[in-house]
Amino acid sequence: MDNAFIEKIKEVVGEKYVKENESMASHCTFRCGGNAELFVIPGSIDELTQVVALCRGNDVEFLVIGNGSNLLVKDEGYKGVIIEVNSRISFIDVIGEDIVADAGAKLSAVAVTAMENDLGGFEFAHGIPGNIGGAVMMNAGAYGGEMKQVLKWVKVLDNEGNIITLNASELEMGYRTSIIEKKGYIVLQARIGLNIEFSEDIGLIMQMFMQKRRASQPLEYPSAGSTFKRPEGYFAGKLIEDAGLKGVSVGGAQVSVLHSGFIINKGNASASDILDLITLVQNRVYDQSGVMLSPEVRIIG
């Protein structure tokens, strides 16, 4: 990668926040994966837009990530720039019954902020280990709640470098998808509409959801949550279990014995181990049921 380009990036975000050949294992919840040729952490929405403009202007491949909770980077790594939107772009503001949150704000932090301000309706997101940006892009959800139920508008960076605001009706949100994902827009900020509730009731609901999550999901192991999308008319975990795959391993990767819909890093798994296990599961389930599972995990590199 051209040194002059790297220096321009450093001028925008500061040398401290630019890393060459950065291992992605510490930036993904799978805790594995190859290196990013260049890893950049902007400190504001303005810095983010400048970094994206530099990448586009110099024909450098780039990818914007958040908490890395739905990401698998191949062992060969990523040739280009990975831009992490995380804690440095995570401001949360309460405006009446609404919350405006930057893309890097953690869902758990937004949920706690809502509870502290007697705002209900975001409890479902408390245990999802992601950020606002990724959650909006893929319409994240749990326990009967989805982002599309609470979003009022989303501010995005489009493919021409313009900052535009999309109202809820324009988001085309479906199961784990949105117009933002389809068009490759970058989430900058979102406004969430909530309802006045008692904070004690909100806290009890959040606690109940977390207890359910701990009882049914292998949270003690690195993973990316549900590995596969839910096929129409089926549950991925049930199909995997019926195919006799619970506990099956490839290297350090394993189909969780607690929840078959999760592939976990049982111990020093490589990204290749996880990819090979994904393929094995897809083929076995297809042979057994005729259903081809699609990964929910974003695979790059």
Catalytically annotated residues: 176, 226, 296
Instruction: Give the whole-angstrom CA distance, residue 66 versus residue 58.
Output: 23
What three-state secondary structure class fits 66?
Answer: coil
- Closest to 286 measured CA to CA, from 240, 249, 250, 233: 240
Three-state SS string over 175-205 comes to CCECHHHHHCCEEEEEEEECEECCHHHHHHH
Q: What distance lies between CA 134 and its chain's CA centroid?
A: 4
11: left (phi over 0), alpha (psi -120 to 50) or beta: alpha
Q: Any residues with CB less than 8 A from the CB of 200 and at least 6 apart, and which?
A: none
Nearest in space to 252 (alpha carbons), one of 63, 89, 1, 33? 33
Task: Name the phi and psi angles at 184, rounded to 5.
Answer: 75, 30
Measure the CA–CA gap between 232 and 213, rounded to whole angstroms: 23
Q: Decide the pairing of beta strands 78-84 and 35-40.
A: parallel
